[in-house]
Amino acid sequence: MKKIAILVSLSLVLFACNNTKQPDPNALLKEQVESQKTEINPQLPVTNDSTLVVNNEHAIIFMADSLELNEIAEKYGPEALAEAASDISYYAMTASDIIDSLDIETTICDKKYIILIKPDNSLITIERKKVQEGDLVLYKPGKEPLFTFAAGFEKKTAIEYFEIKN
């Protein structure tokens, strides 16, 4: 009797888990990005996996992706990677807290491309790995983006850039 109960239970589990058509949780996001790609610049290689699209007041903090972290670990060793990751995370979170206190949206970004949409729907395309001027970008539509560093970031920089009145 126990064997039959186990066999029936196992069969039910197998049939219940056999649903291969799972909905894509990012489907809406992909459609939004694809529609932006079509309407704004059809030649731009925009994918949800490689591109962050921003059209509002925003702070973007760059982070290394997993491939870059693996390269660092291979080149300098796991101890150096752990120390660097700790420092980077600390400064990124400190800058994020400052910006969040001003009600400015903040995104931690490891994507390859960042696309900033101007009010006239023209684009500023940034390739994250090529940015040398900082690891933090402040963006307000109608203004040029401001590149700075999360380490030592001050609240007054954000207040001045976003023209926040006290």
The CA–CA distances, whole Å, from 161 to 57, 98, 109, 145 equal 10, 14, 20, 9
When pLDDT is cut at 50, 70 and 90, the band that residue 16 belongs to is very low
pTM of the predicted model over 0.85: no
Cα 82 to Cα 127: distance, rounded to the nearest angstrom? 25
CA distances from 77 to 22, 65, 113 (A): 40, 17, 28
- The larger pLDDT score, comparing residue 43 to residue 136, is at 136
Does an H or E element contain 164, and which?
Answer: none
pLDDT tens digits for range 108-154: 998 999 999 999 999 999 999 899 888 999 999 999 999 999 999 99
